Structure 1
Amino acid sequence: MRGIGILRLVMAWAMLIALPVGAQALCDVTYKVQPGDTLFSIAETHYGTSQQWALVYYANQVVLEGQTAVPGSDVYIPCPASEAAPAQMPPREVGAELTLLTAGNYLPFSDRNWPGKGLATELVTAALEASPSPLPYAVAWEDDWSSHLFPLLDQKTYDMGFPWVKPDCTATPDNERCKKFHFSEPLMELPIMLFKREGSEFAYESDADVIGKRLCRPAGYFTHDLDRADRRWLSEGKITLVQPDSPEDCFEQLMADKVDAVTVNVFLGASKIVAMGLRGRVIPLERALSRESLHVIISKTHWRGTTHLYRINAGLAALRENGRYDEIVSRHLELFWEQVK
């Protein structure tokens, strides 16, 4: 097994420029990295578009140095998803012993109008079905995300919630999420990218390139990646963080040259670029600013907390082992790509 797990996570990049008509992907092969190669150039060679660089990234995290392809190393070139199978709908159990809480409008991860109710929804429900001694369960929807952690999950109105980003609990043990909740093994990794105006000289080769810059991330979004121990960009005033009300506001400020870059997750950024008509005017930088993971969470005071987490973690391990994990992720991201394209 090549351990490709979530290799297709950023397949949404392909919507930024359409694959040339008739282009054939040279994939399911091994390529020896040449001097001067980047993930962008390797993707351009094999897929006909540099925007599919993350397919290569997720297939080869073990042999890469961060996001750098090492000359002389062999990298596997996976094929994009094809012939997507119908999504499985989460069951609605009568007398459920376990109720999971999520919300909509978080594509492609969770949404009642999305096939299978979303990528994260299908992963979580499939994991429960594949777990040892599975329980009857149900999925509840509350579209006010701000109410999920407190009070609904903290007071155990619902048993578990998803999908949530996990802070660095080792560095920040007093973080409210770290103090109050247990986290499952990661559902998937979520790259947090920098988006700049086409023609801007802003480059991101190392963290030193960000010092003194104006970054935009909407109010209410996490900022722990900007102030981790090796950065301290916020606490030491090394950058200017602009926090308007919405992602749209951030991209408008970018186009007005009021900020140097917008930093949000890959899916949100890509979808807003398309929705706001900014294709070709706003581009991603190749290097991810950070990589966050999405999890299932449960209150530390839940009397069956560790048991329920074991079910989720064991089920996820089974999905990865039997290949269903890759199939679910690939199918949902193919749908996301087609929708925004």
Structure 2
Amino acid sequence: MYNFNLKKVVMSATAVTALSAGAAAAQEACTNYTVEDGDTMATIAIAAYGTSNYQPIFNANRNVINNPNALDPGLVLALPCEDGSLPNGQSAQEIIAAEEARAATVKRSSVYQPPIKLVTGNGWAPFADESLNGGGFIARLGTTALNRGGNARDYSVSFVDDWNSHLETLLPLGAFDVSLAWVMPDCTNRTFEWSPETQTRCTQFDSSVPVYDTVFGVYTLPESQYASATGYEEFEGATICRMTGWGLFDLEASGLGGDDYTRLAPVTARECVDAVLTGSADIATFEVQLMSDTMGEMGLTTNDLVENPFVSTTQSLRFIAHRSNPFGKQYLAMLNKGLNEMRESGEWYAIVSDTLREHNEKLMAASN
């Protein structure tokens, strides 16, 4: 068993206050917790782990949480253990080892088939980064899926850090078959005018089933007028920061068009946080996991930057292939079969939690 602690490197001032007051003492790691009136995902995470990053809890309870902004009293949540495993369950490492042993017994075809060429990018830990085992959990999920669900395909994984080039050049020209991983807009929704980005995603690319559901938070200065906004329409006129290559489909679908706000699109999350702190942007919005890591690295607390509790969204990351690829749909179908089997066996959650363990250990080591 790994000696892993889900607490982040820097504990926020809010977390210290809540824990020192003995708040929500029943909310402990490696237990099942029954939601009470007034609980939020963030307050549960703070009480259980000392961090407002609730993505691991969301991962463990995706089958029962429909809206992370609204938890019903009486809902029972599994709070992951120190090693990322679920209460009263096998460890992630045990599940992964068992599935790998089972897959090794599957007879492979002797007919040669070229490796499927996968591409992702660095600097997106714990999702995708060469410094992590298997390249991060998005890469691990993709490569594992190609050897589950009746699949037995060889593959190659490359890291190209210019994410825009995946869509604009690499997939259209056939340099790679599948890119890991992207948010796709709801291409069935024509109730609003599609942006050029939505038009491109919906008409030029096919996608897999959801690979990972991530929560996108909205972060502002505590005194900002946008800190307590209850709808995206209240962000009209704001300057919003989300990194280059990241879509704004959630804003678009909520009715906030590109002419309604000013966008900043730097390369890194840290630049977005700096923009809010210095007043260059009113809002930073991206994944809660990445925001938690970024604030920890910068030594910030919830006294410096707060998450709006009303307007977070859930977005699914997917594997995508360009429609010009003659085998694109076949490869996505293979990935879908593997992912579905992995969810049923528990290997999907095991890989995610194992990578989060590794990622947090690296963060803690870097802080010492």
For residues 42-81 of structure 1, what are the structure 2 equivalents within 5 Å? 42-45=44-47, 47=48, 49=50, 51-58=52-59, 59=61, 62=64, 64-71=66-73, 73-81=74-82
Query: Which range moves more in the overlay, 99-108 or 286-295?
Result: 286-295
The CA deviation string for residues 292-335 of structure 1, in whole angstroms up to 9 with x for no partner, is 22111112222222221111000001111111111100111122
Residue 232 of structure 1 corresponds to 256
Query: Which range moves more in the overlay, 24-33 or 329-338?
Result: 24-33
The CA deviation string for residues 16-45 of structure 1, in whole angstroms up to 9 with x for no partner, is 417889x99635554443333333344445
Residue 321 of structure 1 corresponds to 344
Residues 240 and 156 (structure 1 numbering): CA distance in 2 closer, same or farther, change over 3 Å? closer
Shift of 1:188: 0.1
Residue 216 of structure 1 corresponds to 241
The CA deviation string for residues 267-299 of structure 1, in whole angstroms up to 9 with x for no partner, is 332232223332342233334532222111112
Residue 299 of structure 1 corresponds to 322
Q: State the TM-score, normalized to the length of structure 1.
A: 0.80
Shift of 1:123: 0.6
2:216 to 186, 192, 200: 192
Q: Measure the CA separation in 2 of the matches of 1:33 and 1:39.
A: 10
Shift of 1:164: 1.7
1:100 to 118, 121, 137: 118
CA contact (8 A) 1:250 1:262 kept: yes
Q: Measure the CA separation in 1 of the matches of 2:30 and 2:357.
A: 18
Q: Give the match's secondary structure for 2:147.
A: helix
Residues 16 and 240 (structure 1 numbering): CA distance in 2 closer, same or farther, change over 3 Å? farther
Q: Measure the CA separation in 1 of the matches of 2:32 and 2:209.
A: 30
CA contact (8 A) 1:127 1:315 kept: yes
Instruction: Structure 2: give runs of 5+ residues left out of the alignment.
Output: 20-24, 84-90, 101-111
Residues 312 and 328 (structure 1 numbering): CA distance in 2 closer, same or farther, change over 3 Å? same
CA contact (8 A) 1:167 1:178 kept: yes
CA contact (8 A) 1:218 1:243 kept: yes
2:11 is aligned with 1:17: yes
Q: Give the match's secondary structure for 1:175.
A: helix
CA contact (8 A) 2:215 2:288 kept: yes
CA contact (8 A) 1:134 1:311 kept: no
For residues 106-117 of structure 1, what are the structure 2 equivalents within 5 Å? 106-117=124-135
Q: Partner letter of residue 277 of structure 1? A: G
Q: Partner letter of residue 272 of structure 2? A: C
Q: Measure the CA separation in 2 of the matches of 1:162 and 1:310.
A: 15
Residue 334 of structure 1 corresponds to 357
Residues 31 and 148 (structure 1 numbering): CA distance in 2 closer, same or farther, change over 3 Å? closer
Residues 57 and 142 (structure 1 numbering): CA distance in 2 closer, same or farther, change over 3 Å? closer
Q: Measure the CA separation in 1 of the matches of 2:231 and 2:223.
A: 20
Q: Measure the CA separation in 2 of the matches of 1:140 and 1:122.
A: 13
Residue 139 of structure 2 corresponds to 121
Q: Measure the CA separation in 2 of the matches of 1:249 and 1:49.
A: 25
CA contact (8 A) 1:64 1:70 kept: no
Residue 285 of structure 2 corresponds to 263
Q: Measure the CA separation in 1 of the matches of 2:348 and 2:77.
A: 19
Residues 198 and 80 (structure 1 numbering): CA distance in 2 closer, same or farther, change over 3 Å? farther
Residue 5 of structure 1 corresponds to none
2:150 is aligned with 1:132: yes
CA contact (8 A) 2:52 2:292 kept: no
For residues 110-189 of structure 1, what are the structure 2 equivalents within 5 Å? 110-171=128-189, 172=194, 175-189=199-213
Residues 25 and 290 (structure 1 numbering): CA distance in 2 closer, same or farther, change over 3 Å? closer
Q: Measure the CA separation in 2 of the matches of 1:55 and 1:74.
A: 17
Residues 118 and 44 (structure 1 numbering): CA distance in 2 closer, same or farther, change over 3 Å? closer
Instruction: State the percentage of identical aligned residues.
Output: 24
CA contact (8 A) 1:30 1:74 kept: no
Instruction: Structure 1: give runs of 5+ residues left out of the alignment.
Output: 1-10
Q: Give the match's secondary structure for 1:264.
A: strand
Q: Partner letter of residue 286 of structure 1? A: P
Q: Give the match's secondary structure for 2:321.
A: strand
CA contact (8 A) 1:13 1:270 kept: no
2:273 is aligned with 1:251: yes
Q: Give the match's secondary structure for 2:340.
A: helix
Return structure 1 stretches of 4+ with deviation > 6 angstroms: 18-21, 86-89
Q: Give the match's secondary structure for 1:336.
A: helix
Q: Measure the CA separation in 2 of the matches of 1:27 and 1:247.
A: 28
User: How many aligned positions are there?
Assistant: 322
CA contact (8 A) 2:11 2:51 kept: no
Q: State the TM-score, normalized to the length of structure 2.
A: 0.75
Q: Measure the CA separation in 2 of the matches of 1:286 and 1:12.
A: 22
2:38 to 36, 39, 52: 36
Shift of 1:221: 3.0
CA contact (8 A) 1:16 1:274 kept: yes
